[in-house]
Amino acid sequence: MRKLFVLSLILGIASFANAAPIWTSTSGPFTVDVWDATDPGSPGYDATQGAVPAGYASIDIAVTIAGDVDWTQSQMLSHLTSGSFYQDTTYGGNVHPNPSFYGLVPGLAFDTYVVATSYPGSGADNATQIAGGALNLGGSASVTMDSSLLDVTWFDTETSYPNGQIARVTYSADAAGSLDLLVYNAAQDQATFSIPLPVPEPVSLLLMVSGLVGLIRRR
């Protein structure tokens, strides 16, 4: 009976862990959350997206801005010291793929892309405008989004929102490096975040589950 209780507790913790960001940071009015892209709780999740390509992990980056002040633009710069970013060079692009094609092109949903917070989650992405590279982060004037470098500035061409997904990044299992993100809002506030790649799982939850598994084994 006790084993059944502990098993139920583990399953409950696992369910909770799968409905929360795997990394979060706050600076000024900005909170940046990183989600596992396969988590149904992620703001970038789509039930038709299929499976992450073999050998890769995928994250969604989302922003929340206090005071209901709209997101306006972001810059992203990431050099990998090993591994690669997933890029669908045939059907993908730099902005959100059209979900209508997910069923026809396996893996398209996990193409690495940036997106404006106003993108509605369906149809072609006409909300996101690429402006160039991440100059304020030490990048170049021209955008580069390939298998080894993400160097991009993007903004919203439509009505912005104070929170939502702003990027999906898919990287190989052997990827190592960091991702620098600069976020702006309509009040001209800005903040820089450095996201580790690969993104670590929350240590406390892993330790808790490990401890409960050990408890079951001792009983």
Contact indicator for 168, 112 with CB cutoff of 8 Å: yes
CATH of the domain at 88: 2.60.40
- Rounded distance between C-alpha atoms, residue 84 and residue 79, angstroms: 9
State pTM to two decimals.
0.86
**Structural domain includes residue 209:** no
- Residue 202 has a pLDDT of 65
All residues at 6 or more sequence positions from 15 whose CB lies less than 8 Å from its CB, including other chains: none
**Structural domain includes residue 219:** no
Q: What is the pLDDT of residues 85-144, one digit of tens each?
A: 999 999 999 999 999 999 999 999 999 999 999 999 999 999 999 999 999 999 999 999
Structural domains of the chain, count: 1
**Structural domain includes residue 212:** no
Q: Give 105: exposed, middle or buried? Use CB within 10 Å, 0-12, 13-18, 19+.
A: middle
Q: What is the pLDDT of residues 18-70, one digit of tens each?
A: 579 999 999 999 999 999 999 999 999 999 999 999 999 999 999 999 999 99
Q: What is the pLDDT of residues 179-204, one digit of tens each?
A: 999 999 999 999 999 999 999 876 54
Structural domain boundaries, residue 92: 2-201
Q: Give the phi and the psi of residue 66 in degrees, each rounded to 5.
A: -65, 155
**Structural domain includes residue 186:** yes
Report the candidate in 190, 187, 175, 199 with the shortest Cα–Cα distance to residue 134: 190
